[in-house]
């Protein structure tokens, strides 16, 4: 730690280095190691003085008590010790000033600057190293915050500790995946890891995986790992409002929340919430995580989160407080997810959604909150939250398919379907079955998708939402296309189109016309397909739905190419590409670019084809579609 070098330049009158972090994170170990290294380098020929302030114990060491220990370390004993504290402090400072050889003062485990401030030397040739669970921001000091270990370091700690005890213990070599999971279950917290290693030493002839299995099933890992006292001590030091916010954050849907989600959790003003968060961050019980745009998210360590949830679970009054906080969070997520979904589906002439001025803003908010939104939907398994959580799930389908987060979409739709079925909400269950069918189809499970859409159609027919039956018919047609049941697909899309026409729903009628066009093209009825796509395009243009217009242009390009009208196909793909790029829809832009490449290749223009394949590969990469990106890159390479 070069900052301790007495020869190093500093703007501070006395160079103090303060190491802070969560209890058990390794502050004392690091400080002791740094002190040994500094002495080995010859930086402190005057020696070192050490005091453990026991700052988080019931009876912490005071400055006056520490002073006596320091004077003894300086050789002051018996009759040489002044009788009054002022005289003792004066002697202490004089001895340090007269000692021209640099000394290192290591003040460990301090909780309050009042414990050590009177003990800081008044000269600049000594150094002070302090450890504390709190970030000592009131000090003029170099501050070093310790975080949990990296995954590789956590695994290495387990390996080295087992080898130290028994050089023949090779379990860490035989079970690398179990070691990694053990690190995760311990939150990569050094003290928790050391406790887990102790448990492994006791069970020398049992696998690491067996301990992982036990910890995974334990309701309170902090107790099982023996680190609960650390968190109890930290929690006990908090003010009432800070303790309340910590508990409520532990009940949030994810370990990391945005500032506005934290405000919803707290049920307080922005300013009061952020003040409390900053206090918790200073105590290293939450971690501020800067994100682009100058915002900050707030993350809890896994073991802190489990500890806090356990505190709530053990008190009926705290449980009621926690349930109210979860309702606030769910209402917050639903309000803004609904507004973002309205923006993604917005068409000219409709009311302007709240908050979000364009697609980019809506998508950015949904991206930031996605983990919390998906986790909050899973609260639908609890009766108290089921209704709002199911409605929240319906707000996420357009976004999740847009971003191609199919795993999340399946989770959201599956949870909503189960909850709606339990509640007897047939309309919401039908919506969920339809969404499940769409994600099943996107992931190559078309037969299961057919069953899901059929269930949705039948449920809708048993409710007053008969206009929704057309949606299920249209979605069913898409799945039927995927399994080459073309005649049935054409019939399904035709039924949907007719139902939409009867209902006067021109927007969805356009969607059905386009889907019908694709089914007709696959059946070889090219001219009918062109007519269907053209009708869809015109309807979307009339409605001002440019994004869906682009989707139709893309499909028109395919059918033009099938008809041998390559130049018209290229023109159609170009129009689709321009609109997709306008909306920053990278995946569909990749499709348009790939189709352009294919058309140019058919027209014997290999240079243009290769350029478009490469652009498609880049677009797919940005859209998190690695398989498609690799295929486009391979096609480009084949034209080299």
Mean pLDDT of 475-498: 96
Q: Give the residue among 501, 568, 503 at the shortest CA–CA distance from 539.
A: 501
CA angle 255–258–259, rounded 5-degree value:
125
User: What pLDDT, on the 0 to 100 scale, is given for residue 140?
Assistant: 81
pLDDT in tens, 405-455: 999 999 999 999 999 999 999 999 999 999 999 999 999 999 999 999 999
Whether 136 shows a pLDDT value over 90: the answer reads no
pLDDT in tens, 240-287: 999 999 999 999 999 999 999 999 999 999 999 999 999 999 999 999
Tell me the average pLDDT of the chain: 93
Residues 30, 32, 35, 41: is their CA dihedral positive or negative?
Answer: negative
Whether 524 shows a pLDDT value over 90: the answer reads yes
User: What pLDDT, on the 0 to 100 scale, is given for residue 465?
Assistant: 74
User: What pLDDT, on the 0 to 100 scale, is given for residue 160?
Assistant: 93
Whether the Cβ atoms of residue 312 and residue 251 lie closer than 8 Å to each other: yes
Mean pLDDT of 36-44: 91
Task: Supply 54's token pair.
Answer: 């026991």
d(CA 24, CA 34) in angstroms, rounded, equals 17
Mean pLDDT of 381-406: 94
- Domain 2-145 annotated CATH 3.30.565.10: no
Whether 12 shows a pLDDT value over 80: the answer reads no
Task: Quickly count: other Cβ atoms within 10 Å of residue 577's Cβ.
Answer: 26
Whether 4 shows a pLDDT value over 80: the answer reads no
User: What pLDDT, on the 0 to 100 scale, is given for residue 7?
Assistant: 66
> What would you report as the CA-atom Rg of the chain, rounded to the nearest whole angstrom?
33
User: What pLDDT, on the 0 to 100 scale, is given for residue 463?
Assistant: 78
Report how far apart, in Å, the C-alpha atoms of 631 and of each of 212, 591, 593, 621, 628 are. 40, 12, 13, 11, 5
* Length of the chain (residues): 640
User: What pLDDT, on the 0 to 100 scale, is given for residue 434?
Assistant: 95
Whether 219 shows a pLDDT value over 80: the answer reads no
Mean pLDDT of 590-604: 95
Report how far apart, in Å, the C-alpha atoms of 340 and of each of 355, 369, 404, 592 are. 8, 11, 17, 26
The third-level CATH classification (topology) of the domain covering 229-314 is Arc Repressor Mutant, subunit A (1.10.10)
pLDDT in tens, 76-105: 988 889 989 999 999 999 999 999 899 999
Task: Supply 195's token pair.
Answer: 């406790």
Q: What is the pTM of this model?
A: 0.86
**Burial class of residue 323, CB neighbours in 10 A (0-12, 13-18, 19+):** middle
d(CA 613, CA 304) in angstroms, rounded, equals 49
User: What pLDDT, on the 0 to 100 scale, is given for residue 351?
Assistant: 93
Whether the Cβ atoms of residue 252 and residue 372 lie closer than 8 Å to each other: yes
Whether 466 shows a pLDDT value over 80: the answer reads no
- Strand ranges in 180-327 using DSSP code E only, listed in sequence order: 256-258, 287-291, 295-299
d(CA 354, CA 343) in angstroms, rounded, equals 8
Q: Give the residue among 163, 166, 161, 165 at the shortest CA–CA distance from 192.
A: 161
d(CA 362, CA 352) in angstroms, rounded, equals 13
Mean pLDDT of 128-133: 93
User: What pLDDT, on the 0 to 100 scale, is given for residue 188?
Assistant: 94
35: helix, coil or strand?
Answer: helix
**Burial class of residue 46, CB neighbours in 10 A (0-12, 13-18, 19+):** middle
- Domain definitions of the chain by residue range: 2-145, 151-226, 229-314, 545-640
d(CA 98, CA 120) in angstroms, rounded, equals 15
d(CA 277, CA 256) in angstroms, rounded, equals 13
Whether the Cβ atoms of residue 401 and residue 409 lie closer than 8 Å to each other: yes
- Banded pLDDT at 14 (limits 50, 70, 90): low
- Banded pLDDT at 8 (limits 50, 70, 90): low
User: What pLDDT, on the 0 to 100 scale, is given for residue 2?
Assistant: 60
| 295-299/287-291 β-pairing | antiparallel
Whether the Cβ atoms of residue 246 and residue 238 lie closer than 8 Å to each other: yes
List, in sequence order, every residue forming a beta bridge with 108; answer none if it has no partner: 52
Task: Quickly count: other Cβ atoms within 10 Å of residue 553's Cβ.
Answer: 23
Whether the Cβ atoms of residue 112 and residue 18 lie closer than 8 Å to each other: no
Whether 11 shows a pLDDT value over 70: the answer reads no
Whether 175 shows a pLDDT value over 60: the answer reads yes
**Phi/psi zone of residue 286: left (φ > 0), alpha (ψ -120 to 50 degrees), beta?**
beta
pLDDT in tens, 543-596: 999 999 999 999 999 999 999 999 999 999 999 999 999 999 999 999 999 999
Report the share of the chain in percent with pLDDT over 90: 85
The third-level CATH classification (topology) of the domain covering 545-640 is 1.25.40
CA angle 436–438–440, rounded 5-degree value:
65
User: What pLDDT, on the 0 to 100 scale, is given for residue 451?
Assistant: 97
């Amino acid at each position: 730690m070069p900052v301790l070098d007495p020869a190093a330049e500093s703007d501070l009158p006395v160079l103090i280095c303060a190491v802070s972090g969560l209890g058990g994170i390794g502050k004392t170990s690091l400080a002791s190691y740094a002190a040994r290294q500094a002495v080995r380098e010859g930086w402190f020929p005057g020696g070192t003085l050490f005091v453990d302030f026991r700052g988080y114990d019931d009876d912490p060491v005071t400055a006056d008590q520490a002073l006596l220990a320091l004077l003894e370390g300086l050789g002051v004993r018996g009759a040489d010790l002044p009788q009054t504290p002022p005289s003792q402090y004066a002697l202490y400072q004089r001895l340090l000033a007269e000692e021209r050889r640099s000394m290192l003062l290591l003040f460990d485990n301090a909780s309050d600057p009042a414990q050590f401030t009177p003990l800081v030397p008044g000269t600049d040739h000594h150094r002070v190293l302090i450890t504390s669970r709190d970030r000592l921001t009131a000090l003029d000091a170099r501050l070093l915050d310790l975080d949990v270990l990296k995954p590789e370091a956590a695994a290495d700690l387990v390996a080295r500790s087992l080898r130290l005890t028994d050089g023949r213990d090779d379990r860490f070599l035989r079970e690398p995946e179990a070691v990694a999971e053990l690190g995760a279950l311990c939150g990569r917290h050094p003290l928790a890891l050391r406790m887990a290693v102790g448990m492994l030493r006791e069970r020398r002839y049992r696998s690491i995986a067996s301990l992982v299995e036990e910890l995974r099933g334990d309701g309170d890992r902090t107790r099982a790992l023996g680190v609960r006292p650390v968190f109890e001590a930290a929690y006990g030091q908090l003010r009432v409002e800070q303790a309340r916010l910590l508990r409520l954050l532990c009940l949030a849907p994810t370990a990391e929340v945005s500032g506005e989600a934290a405000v919803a959790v707290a049920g307080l003003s922005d300013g009061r919430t952020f003040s409390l968060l900053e206090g918790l961050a200073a105590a290293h019980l939450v971690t501020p995580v800067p994100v682009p745009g100058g915002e900050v998210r707030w993350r809890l360590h896994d073991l802190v989160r489990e500890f806090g949830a356990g505190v709530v679970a053990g008190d009926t009054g705290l449980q009621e407080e926690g349930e109210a906080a979860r309702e606030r969070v769910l209402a917050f997520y639903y309000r803004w997810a609904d507004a973002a979904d309205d923006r993604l589906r917005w068409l000219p002439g409709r009311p302007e959604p709240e908050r979000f001025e364009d697609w980019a803003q809506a998508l950015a908010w949904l991206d930031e909150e996605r983990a919390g939104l998906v986790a909050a939907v899973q609260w639908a398994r609890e009766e108290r939250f089921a209704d709002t959580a199911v409605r929240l799930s319906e707000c996420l389908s357009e976004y999740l398919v847009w971003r191609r987060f199919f795993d999340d979409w399946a989770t959201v739709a599956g949870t909503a379907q189960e909850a709606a079925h339990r509640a007897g909400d047939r309309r919401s269950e039908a919506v969920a079955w339809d969404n499940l069918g769409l994600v099943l189809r996107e992931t190559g499970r078309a037969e299961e998708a057919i069953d899901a859409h059929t269930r949705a159609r039948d449920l809708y027919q048993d409710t007053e939402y008969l206009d929704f039956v057309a949606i299920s018919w249209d979605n069913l047609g898409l799945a039927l296309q995927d399994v080459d049941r073309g005649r049935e697909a054409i019939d399904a899309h035709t039924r949907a189109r007719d139902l939409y026409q009867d209902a006067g729903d021109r927007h969805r009628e356009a969607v059905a016309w386009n889907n019908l066009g694709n089914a007709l093209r696959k059946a070889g009825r090219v001219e009918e397909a062109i007519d269907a796509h053209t009708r869809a395009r015109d309807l979307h243009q009339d409605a001002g739905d440019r994004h869906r217009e682009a989707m139709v242009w893309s499909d028109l390009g395919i059918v033009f190419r099938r008809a041998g009208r390559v130049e018209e196909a290229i023109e159609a793909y170009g129009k689709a590409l321009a609109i997709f790029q306008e909306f920053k829809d990278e995946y569909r832009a990749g499709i348009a670019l790939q189709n352009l490449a294919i058309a140019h290749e058919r027209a014997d223009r290999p240079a243009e084809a290769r350029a478009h394949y490469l652009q498609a590969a880049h677009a797919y990469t940005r859209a998190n579609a690695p398989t498609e990106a690799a295929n486009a890159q391979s096609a480009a390479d084949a034209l080299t």
